[in-house]
Amino acid sequence: MRNAYLTALYDLAKRDRNILALVSDNGAVVYDKFRRDFPEQFINFGISESNMVSVAAGLASCGKIPFAYTIATFLTMRAFEQIRVDVCLQEMNVKLVGIGAGLVYSNLGPTHQATEDIALMRSLPKMTILSPADPLEAKYATYAAAEINGPVYIRLSTGGTPVVYKNEYDFKLGRAVTLRDGKDITIISSGGIVHEVLKAADNLEAENISVRVLNMHTIKPIDNQAILKAAGETAAVLVVEEHAIDGGLGSAVAEVILEGKIKSPAFKRLGLNNVFPAGYGTYDEMKEGNFLSGKDIAREAKKLFRK
């Protein structure tokens, strides 16, 4: 996913000299090609996330389009005040790119695991939030972000993200993608965990439970229409997120359903429930240890549907 983002950013910078790559020390090596070919469009701020965001806002005020990239936890937490005041309050055309979404930095512990970032960014007026599910969608999200005149947060996993889309498709900002249609239960998700959701859907289909899978690649603005349609047409809605359930995607979906004034389906949010991520290990081990593997998702979906 990271490499797909970098490829798209390189293409954008080649076409538009106002596109800038800003980094906060980490990952500088992966920018070698960009730095070599566009030295005047690259700035490494060192370990100084807050400064990077404030400078990004200043550059945007001069007509530049900065993409500020660093580890998601450091970007959204250390620089939150600058994002709020310098970027969102002023409605600056700044793109914030957080790498290491969810549990992917599995061996570095909660300091590097971004499990509250969606809640933080959702709270900010004018902020668009994009959470791609695989490399192809990361490319689409990068191009879409460049077209938006205002603040954007792109939430990325690292390299090696499994493929969800085998073919190109028509990416539309604010429109969920129905990866699988079904009439019994809807599972809504976003980001790298979508791959586990599809595994769960396979298991459920084998037990004759028809599953609709919605990939909510745009978390803000969210696709109200797709959510309400699913809630009206299936008996249950399960939201799966590699994130705390408070303030995340599940909260956003619940708000839509409750405010939609429809007969509410059985509903559950599956994610980190008032806890920090548990354990250290490989990415797969972390998903299993935090009950976010395909088998865990299938089990919770069955319980919800039967209820």
pLDDT of res. 28: 64
- Residue 263, pLDDT > 90, answer no
Q: Give the residue-averaged pLDDT of 106-117.
A: 92
pLDDT of res. 202: 96
> Percentage of the chain surpassing pLDDT 70?
99
Confidence of residue 56 (pLDDT cuts 50, 70, 90): very high
Please pick, among 40, 49, 91, 255, the residue that the annotation labels catalytic. Answer: 49
- Residue 256, pLDDT > 90, answer yes
* Lowest model confidence (mean pLDDT) among 25-34, 120-129, 215-224: 25-34
Confidence of residue 307 (pLDDT cuts 50, 70, 90): confident
Domains and CATH numbers, the chain: 2-156 (3.40.50.970), 177-306 (3.40.50.920)
pLDDT of res. 262: 84
**300 in active site:** no
- Residue 147, pLDDT > 70, answer yes
pLDDT of res. 29: 74
Confidence of residue 17 (pLDDT cuts 50, 70, 90): very high
> Percentage of the chain surpassing pLDDT 90?
91
Beta bridge partners of 130: 154, 218
